């Protein structure tokens, strides 16, 4: 699907690649947010997609919010609130995806761009990529709550308060980036990782993905209890039975069509 500023391609490994395509720096304006939200929502209903790569065209992954649009919104009644609501929907379309998401960060991931990577399950970055929260330099704030999902609190504070840009190698050292690879190997590495995720039991992956986002808001005791309940439910399904048979028979599992995620 080639739709304006967001392109979606699906390969024979059950992997969809969602590509930001708004040159020159893939800045998030309202139109791009709407298209990205729609793209992720539509992938939830597709049986031929079991994992997603979030990538970007050009030298920059995403430079953050479109500042020119923000200036215009500040002068129009109600536009600021509408934009904030759409921003939340965009981030949570990625975060709440029933299909695991691998970010392929090719260059700068700044502000809302860094937040997008924090909404993904795994981040693969080019060696030349870097991450930052420069909002403080343009009279803005926000996004720290998402960064806490991938970075130590002290690092988040430093990034948000100083606008400092953190290289991919340092993000890898901190555990926020799973792989740091040459730029020309980025999509290959991200695609291979997504293919590994896509080969797992779809129902188990969907349940685990849901538990991640739910458990974060619970106490340790309640979160673990929820995980136990989800595990028991998943273990009774056809995917689980096939996974066990394949393990015993020392072969690759063959899973049937995914069921639509519960609403």
pLDDT tens across 11-20, in order?
A: 999 999 999 9
Report if residue 156 sits inside a domain.
yes
Assess whether 126 and 244 both reside in one domain.
no
d(CA 32, CA 43): 17
Q: How do residues 103-125 score in pLDDT, each as one tens digit? A: 999 999 999 999 999 999 999 99
Higher pLDDT, 125 or 250: 125
Report if residue 263 sits inside a domain.
no
User: Strand, helix or coil at 195?
Assistant: helix
Assess whether 189 and 228 both reside in one domain.
no
Assess whether 52 and 181 both reside in one domain.
yes
Above 80 in pLDDT, residue 25? yes
Is the C-alpha dihedral spanning 190, 179, 42, 262 positive or negative? Answer: positive
Q: Are strands 122-126 and 130-132 parallel, antiparallel or unpaired?
A: unpaired
The fraction of the chain above a pLDDT of 70, given in percent, is 92
Which among 35, 10, 40 has a CA at the least distance from the CA of 100?
40
Assess whether 68 and 187 both reside in one domain.
yes
Please, how many CA atoms are within 13 Å of residue 238, restricted to the half-sphere of its CB? Answer: 6
Model's pTM, two decimal places? 0.86
Q: Which residue has the tokens 């065209």?
A: 57
We report the CATH number of the domain holding residue 16 as 3.90.226.10
Q: Which two tokens stand for residue 31?
A: 């139109």
Query: The domain containing residue 72 runs over which residues?
Result: 2-198
């Amino acid at each position: 699907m080639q739709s304006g500023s967001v392109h979606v391609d699906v390969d024979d490994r059950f992997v969809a690649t969602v590509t930001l395509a708004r040159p020159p720096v893939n800045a998030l304006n309202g139109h791009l947010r709407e298209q990205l939200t729609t793209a992720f929502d539509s992938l939830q209903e597709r049986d031929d997609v079991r994992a997603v790569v979030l990538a970007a065209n050009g030298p920059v992954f995403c430079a953050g919010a479109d500042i020119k649009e923000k200036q215009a919104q500040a002068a129009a009644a109600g536009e600021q609130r509408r934009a904030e609501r759409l921003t939340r929907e965009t981030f949570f379309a990625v975060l709440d995806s029933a299909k695991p998401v691998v970010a392929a960060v090719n260059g700068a991931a700044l502000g809302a761009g860094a937040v997008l990577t924090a909404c993904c399950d795994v981040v693969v970055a080019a060696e030349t990529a870097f991450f930052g929260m420069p909002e403080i330099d343009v009279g803005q704030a926000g996004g720290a709550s998402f960064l806490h999902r991938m970075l130590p609190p002290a690092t988040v504070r430093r990034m948000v308060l100083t606008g400092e840009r953190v290289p991919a190698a340092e993000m890898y050292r901190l555990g926020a980036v799973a792989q740091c690879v040459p730029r020309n190997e980025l999509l290959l590495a991200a695609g291979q990782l997504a293919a590994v995720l896509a080969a797992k039991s779809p129902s188990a992956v969907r349940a685990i993905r849901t538990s991640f986002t739910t458990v974060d808001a619970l106490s340790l005791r309640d979160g673990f209890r929820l995980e136990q309940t989800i595990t028991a439910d998943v273990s009774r399904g056809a995917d689980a039975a096939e996974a066990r048979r394949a393990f015993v028979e020392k072969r690759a599992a063959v899973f049937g069509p995914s069921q639509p995620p519960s609403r």
